[in-house]
Chain A
Amino acid sequence: MSTTRTRTSRTRRLTTVAALVTAGLALAACSSGGGGESDGGRGDITIWYSNNEQEVAWGKQMVEAWNAENPDEQIKAQEIPAGSSSEEVIGAAIAAGNAPCLIYNTAPVAVAQFEKQGGLVNLSEFDDGASYIEERTGDAAQQYQNADGDYFQMPWKSNPVMIFYNKDMFAAAGLDPENPPLGSYDEFLATARTLVQSGAAPNAIYPSPTNEFYQSLFDFYPLYAAETGGTPLVEDGAATFADEAGVTVAEFWRTLYDEGLASNEQYQGDSFADGQAAMAIVGPWAISVYKDVNWGSVPVPTSTGVAADEVYTFSDAKNIGLYSACENPETAWDVLKFSTSEEQDGMLLEMTGQMPLRQNLSETYADYFTENPAYEMFGAQNARTVEVPNSPNAVAMLQAFRDAYSKSVIFGEEDIQSALEGAAEKVDDLAGQQ
């Protein structure tokens, strides 16, 4: 009898302790993550935005505007923590379970991997999710769907890559700085030779020759997109680049390296800003950065020199992800829509010079482009961009390509055709893996 009483007493104690622990955990859960009380997916949220000066300014005004109108659903914002790349920082935050609700500047190349990790919320599951994205972005939105047609990223902004050139160096080389011959490969190479041989510039152009996976997005890929009229590197689960167009583009770059018009040495700094190169291959973000350079811009070249309004390029887009660690996704979705509204997109354009991924961009912000003609071409180019492969193995694919490109094009140690075919085989293999 006494044993039974003891057992009952112990059970009661254990039950009380368990109840207290459960209550404590529940309270802790309520007060963590989103940063405020949760009410059916609504409450305070945390966001990260990029750490460049212009985007920080845009982010702060956006947060202030939202917070002023939504006292019960406040945004706490901070710059994305420093790391060797934002993708690694975000990947670590997903694994640790402490990712914020929204991250602006989520790179499309990493989205499928984040989705596989269970780190992202499917935006298509919101009632107006897919329709909002497609209405804002237009046909370009398809590039950001996964294999099932769902959106795990909000297409946000792009930086269509073009050629910047230094007008002073072109003039010093005896070239017309207002209308430089850079449309076809022959024109581009002749101009490059004139620039270097005249002594006007140490290098005609200086894309980074290093081996990081993303570097080919700023030398080979824009020209490949232009040469093919918008073919992505990987289409229908297979590599496309080992074709005639890919070889033509690679041989063009090989000629630049071979003739010493581009350097295969790593440059510490910004070669265009430092006067080490007469041209750079960059997006509109560069406009606010190259204030001290007398620059002009043209689309990337093609082998035959197609009209500027037909040239495709790499988008260099950054998107917005809604992360699964978020405790208040309903608020996060509303904030996401607010921050990509016509008004906020206009602010983004004005404050950063980056192009919102919005259909009819030039018409929507016609006044802005009239007042800022330097951005006009980028605005028009925005409709003709291609994206990185949408696969969990996208980074591995780009690394396989970069290895082959580096060996054959930058260092000329392998035949271009066989290098591209070898890389295509690896990419096909990676595309088949999940």
Chain B
Amino acid sequence: MTAVATPGPVTDPGSRPRRSRGARGRPFGRNPLGLLFSAPYIVFVLAVFAYPLIFSVWMSFQDYFFSAPGAQVDRPFVGLANYEQVLSDPAVWRSFGNVGIFLIINVPLTVVLSLVLASALDKAVRGRTFLRVSYYVPYVTASVAVVGVWLFLFNGNGLVNQILGPLAPDPSWLVNSSLAMPTIALFVTWKQLGFYILLYLAALQNVPKELYESASTDGAGRIRSFFSVTVPGVRPATLLVVLLSTITGANLFTEPYLLTGGGGPNGASTSPVLLMYQKGLEQGTPDTAAAIGVILVILVLGIALLQRRLVGGDES
């Protein structure tokens, strides 16, 4: 019998001892200072994001409630019971449906409006700074403050209904089961527009001017240039805007809580996060709240992956 030697990986015979020495001599790698500088952020991420995320997944499989330190309480493993309870609750389904309506209105509107306005601002000669600040102010203003303005505009006797007169909806915007969520979606779109405009403005700086000149030479007008040069040129930014607006939209809480007083009318504006707040903090059942949270994370991840496929965004 002849032993057949299997060829092993081709390695530089001299490199192994060097690597080994390096590993022994540099337990923190080649740039320990870099590790030192990034350590606080790593610790922050682990403590503030990773640990709570893992803990909430664990919590969703237990009969869990908050208790005083040292209190003897029983928190047995309940398997999928919390998920079964959550998925059999019509209020939970409705909240996911509500946030779906919100995203269908908010995300496309955010992308279109912020791109169009950013393109206009990029070309504006006069008052550019003033306009940029004007769009950005609602974003940096606390929701609690601007919600008051919208309540003034959209309540039954509000300015919008006074202008509309007999065309005003009945019941009014924020107490109308069909219109409450779209009104909230419009509010959030308006409030966050400034941030997304800034993202697009930055992206527009990277679109080569020569492409516009070439398009112009080829006889393309403004609209043709916009669709043939601007839109493809800012595709990575579009993906970012789509992802960010989806993630922030899925975490909707403040606006329905303040605009419609805790999710009314009839829960037509209750979001999953608002429901988590009610169940986890008000009703003392953080286990079911955690189950809603886990489902929400999975759904958002799924949507984000789908969006990445559809919108693209890779430079390659």
Binding site for B on A (CB under 8 A): 85, 87-88, 91, 94-97, 99, 113, 116-119, 208-213, 263-266, 268, 324-325, 392-393, 395-396, 399, 403, 406-407, 410-411, 413
Contacts and interface: CB of A to CB of B under 8 A. Distances in A.
Interface stretch (B64-72, B185-193, B299-307): B64-72
Nearest to A267: B155
B156 A117 contact: no
A265 B265 CA distance: 9
A14 B278 CA distance: 49
20 contacts: A88-B282, A91-B284, A95-B69, A119-B68, A210-B261, A210-B262, A211-B261, A211-B265, A212-B262, A213-B282, A264-B171, A265-B156, A268-B151, A392-B284, A399-B278, A399-B282, A407-B267, A411-B175, A411-B265, A413-B177
6 A-B pairs closest in CB distance = A118-B71, A210-B261, A97-B69, A211-B264, A211-B262, A95-B66
A266 B260 contact: yes
Interface in B262-307: 262-267, 278-279, 281-285
Contacts of B263: 211
Contacts of A393: 283-284
Interface of B: 65-73, 91, 148, 151, 155-156, 171-172, 174-175, 177, 260-267, 278-279, 281-285
Nearest to A112: B284
Contact of B261 (A99, A208, A395, A399): A208
Interface SS of chain A: loop
Given A97-B69, A117-B66, 5 more contacts: A119-B67, A213-B278, A265-B172, A266-B155, A392-B284
- Of B70, B267, B281, B283, the most chain A CB neighbours within 10 A belong to B283
Contacts of B174: 265-266
A213 B277 CA distance: 12
A94 B284 contact: no
Given A87-B282, A209-B175, A325 B264 contact: no
A96 B73 CA distance: 15
Contacts of A99: 68
Given A268-B148, A268-B151, A411 B177 contact: yes
B284 A113 contact: yes
Contacts of B66: 91, 94-95, 117
Contacts of B175: 209, 264-266, 411
A253 B155 CA distance: 21
Given A210-B262, A268-B148, A88 B281 contact: yes
A208 B260 CA distance: 11
Contact of B264 (A91, A209, A392): A209
Contacts of A324: 68, 71
A297 B3 CA distance: 105
B171 A403 contact: no
Given A118-B73, A266-B151, A266-B174, A413 B266 contact: yes
Nearest to B267: A403
Contacts of B282: 85, 87-88, 213, 395, 399
